[in-house]
């Protein structure tokens, strides 16, 4: 009984202290922490409903939660936070069906020219809304007359104003399938020119200035539209694109990191057994000073395993597979770092996820991997993160008054199967909140959304900008 009221007291005090986060947030030493007061959306804990006790089996915790709390109660208690997130403008709402009249083409082909995140198996022919069909491919054989060229991270080439340096010829149709040209193929027009019939360039003849270097970021009518995708925190436009894709709702096309297609080939085994002694999983190999400092302080307060290069405490790299042999995919293949991530995370109650940069709407795969694996992310990053995730699914570290408060909260949840199970209720009850929108504008759905935008512009017939 005493323990119960202590827990409640802790939670209530945290509500009070939350107002002071502005003044304490300096402990993160991240430059862009918001200075506006945001609505406090604390997870509603069911701590008072049961006597906390340590647990290791997740499915047993779910059963206890079902009998003591249940979905209708969960839905009711998170109604307000779901509505607040729903009113935010952090996510583009696709309204494809109601804008069918704006389409100028009923078939669009997109040739993916350079990539880092875009997986091969996104290649396909997609049936989209309004009867639009969308050919999305990395193959210049299949998309021999692309309506749009997509450059991810590789910037679109500037156009030479003169055609002398790379005269397109009818015989220059590229025949080899594209390989990952990231950083290598910056100038498709000189190295890989499409057939003349498609380009029909109308050369701008120089009058006085015959400099061969004269280039322009303008697109000539008749050329494919240039789509540029940049998912890094800085969202830097190339200056030579007709459509810009990044993670923010203000970009031409938004692409969140909540795509199931990031890093195919992961081992998707999920452990029902949660480690009782080691609460937190962390893995980071880019040891940025600010992130390391924060992680070091928090992790000193909580039993954890750190698998990456930063603050490694498991006796070396690549230890996850020796800890959890069931996470091996194929013993004959050298594992990639992400192959066993999902499976390894699932053995822990919590995964620490700290973004490289604290920037609005920059909510990356670090968080979504943890959610996918059935763990609970302890998150430091975008101030509007709650607009992107399911209700009561993460612990937003920046809403606590101190790391000590946070660590004590984490320990309480770890020892309370009902409170812990409540962090998984969204998935089991189907209450996605804004996460439904986050998924709807992820990489997974990018092909139809790009084809739609290209069609609305009129593809190659779009006026030069
Ligand atoms: C979110 O807002 C839209 C329109 O503003 C509304 O139609 C929808 O029902 C809302 N959803 C929730 C879960 O509140
Ligand atoms: C020719 O182009 C170059 C590069 O854009 C420019 O610096 C120069 O002033 C131009 N010369 C004339 C005569 O227009
Ligand atoms: C889990 O850990 C707690 C606290 O360290 C301990 O009291 C408890 O006995 C452990 N339970 C199991 C099932 O190992």
Distance 183 CA to ligand 1 centre (A): 42
Q: Which helix (H) or strand (E) holds 438?
A: helix 435-440
Q: What pLDDT shows up at residue 339?
A: 84
Tokens representing 461 are: 């017939």
Q: How far does the centroid of ligand 2 lie from the alpha carbon of residue 161, in Å?
A: 13
Spatial distance between the Cα atoms of 131 and 147, rounded to a whole number of angstroms: 17
CA distance 274 to 188: 51
Position 180 scores a pLDDT of 29
pLDDT tens, per residue, the chain with 465 residues: 444 444 555 554 544 444 444 344 433 434 333 333 333 334 445 455 567 788 999 999 999 999 999 999 999 999 999 999 999 999 998 777 788 999 999 999 999 998 888 999 999 999 999 999 999 999 999 999 999 999 997 878 765 544 433 333 333 333 333 222 222 222 222 233 333 323 333 333 444 444 444 556 678 888 999 999 999 999 999 988 999 999 999 999 999 999 988 777 788 899 999 999 999 999 999 999 999 999 999 999 999 999 999 999 999 988 999 999 999 887 778 877 778 899 999 999 999 999 999 999 999 999 999 999 999 999 999 999 999 999 999 999 999 999 999 999 999 999 999 999 999 999 999 999 999 999 999 999 999 999 999 999 999 988 765
Q: Which of 276, 277, 279 to mutate to test the pocket of ligand 3 (most atoms within 8 A of CB)?
A: 276
Distance 208 CA to ligand 2 centre (A): 9
Each domain of the chain, given as residue ranges in start order, spans: 58-91+260-432, 101-159+215-255+439-464
CA nearest ligand 3 atom 8, residue: 54
What is the spatial distance between Cα 314 and Cα 13, in angstroms, rounded to a whole number?
35
Instruction: Please give the number of the atom of ligand 1 that sits closest to the Cα of 86.
Output: 1
Token pair for 311:
């603050």
DSSP track, 132-148: -EEEEES-TTTTSS-SE
**What pLDDT is attached to residue 48?**
52
Q: What is the dihedral of CA 441, 119, 272, 410, to 10 degrees?
A: -60
pLDDT on residue 13? 54
Ligand 1: centre distance to CA 85 (Å): 10
Say if CB 261 and CB 444 are below 8 A apart: yes
Compute, in angstroms, the gap from residue 209 CA to the centroid of ligand 2. Answer: 6
**Protein fold of 58-91+260-432:** Rossmann fold (3.40.50)
Ligand 2 neighbour 207 (Cβ under 6 A): no
User: For atom 13 of ligand 2, which residue has the closest CA?
Assistant: 209
Give me 205's structure tokens. Answer: 């003849």
pTM: 0.77
Please tell me the predicted confidence (pLDDT) of residue 218: 76
Residue nearest to atom 11 of ligand 3 (CA): 54
| Contacts (Cβ under 8 Å, ≥6 apart) of 114 | 151, 152, 153, 154, 180, 181, 182, 183, 184, 185
Q: Please provide the DSSP assignment of 223-269 as one string.
A: SPEEEEE--STT----SS-SEEEESSTTSSEE-BS--TTSSTT----
Instruction: Give CA separation, 30 vs 146, 168, 293, in Å.
Output: 43, 50, 11
Q: Whose CA is nearest to atom 11 of ligand 1?
A: 86
């Amino acid at each position: 009984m005493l323990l119960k009221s202590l827990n409640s007291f802790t939670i209530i005090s945290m509500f009070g202290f939350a107002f002071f986060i502005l003044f304490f947030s300096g402990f993160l030493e991240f430059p862009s922490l918001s200075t506006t007061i945001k609505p406090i959306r604390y997870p509603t804990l069911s701590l008072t409903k049961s006597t906390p006790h340590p647990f290791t089996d997740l499915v047993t915790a779910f059963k206890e939660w079902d009998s003591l709390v249940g979905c209708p109660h969960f839905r009711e208690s998170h109604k307000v936070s779901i509505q607040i997130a729903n009113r935010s403008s952090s996510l583009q709402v696709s309204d494809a069906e109601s804008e069918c009249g704006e389409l100028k083409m009923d078939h669009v082909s997109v040739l993916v020219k350079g990539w880092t995140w875009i997986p091969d198996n996104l290649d396909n022919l997609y049936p989209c809304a309004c009867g639009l069909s969308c050919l999305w491919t990395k193959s210049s054989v299949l998309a021999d007359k692309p309506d749009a060229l997509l450059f991810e991270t590789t910037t679109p080439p500037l156009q030479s104003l003169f055609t002398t340096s790379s005269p397109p010829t009818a015989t220059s149709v590229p025949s080899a399938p594209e390989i990952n040209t990231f950083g290598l193929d910056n100038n498709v027009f000189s190295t890989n020119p499409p057939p003349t019939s498609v380009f029909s360039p109308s050369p701008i003849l120089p009058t006085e200035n015959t400099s061969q270097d004269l280039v322009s970021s303008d697109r000539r009518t008749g050329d494919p539209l240039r789509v540029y995708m940049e998912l890094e925190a800085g969202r830097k436009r190339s200056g030579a694109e007709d459509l810009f894709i990044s993670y923010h709702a203000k970009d031409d096309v938004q692409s969140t990191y909540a795509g199931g297609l990031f890093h195919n080939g992961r081992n998707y085994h999920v452990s029902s057994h949660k480690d009782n002694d080691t609460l937190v999983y962390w893995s980071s190999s880019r040891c940025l000073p600010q992130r390391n400092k924060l992680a070091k302080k928090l992790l000193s307060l909580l039993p954890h395993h750190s698998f990456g290069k930063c603050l490694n405490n498991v006796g070396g790299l690549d230890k996850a597979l020796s800890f959890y042999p069931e996470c091996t995919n194929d013993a004959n293949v050298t594992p990639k770092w992400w192959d066993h991530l999902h499976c390894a995370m699932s053995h822990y109650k919590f995964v620490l996820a700290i973004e490289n940069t604290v920037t609005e709407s920059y909510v990356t795969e670090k968080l979504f991997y943890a959610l996918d694996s059935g763990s609970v992310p302890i998150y430091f990053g975008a101030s509007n993160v709650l607009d992107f995730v399911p209700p009561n699914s993460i612990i937003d570290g920046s809403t606590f008054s101190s790391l000590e408060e946070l660590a004590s909260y984490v320990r309480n949840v770890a020892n309370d199967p009902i409170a812990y199970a409540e962090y998984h209720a969204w998935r089991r009850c189907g209450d996605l909140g804004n996460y439904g929108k986050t998924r709807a504008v992820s990489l997974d759905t990018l092909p139809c959304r790009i084809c739609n935008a290209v069609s609305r512009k009129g593809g190659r017939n779009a006026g030069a900008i």
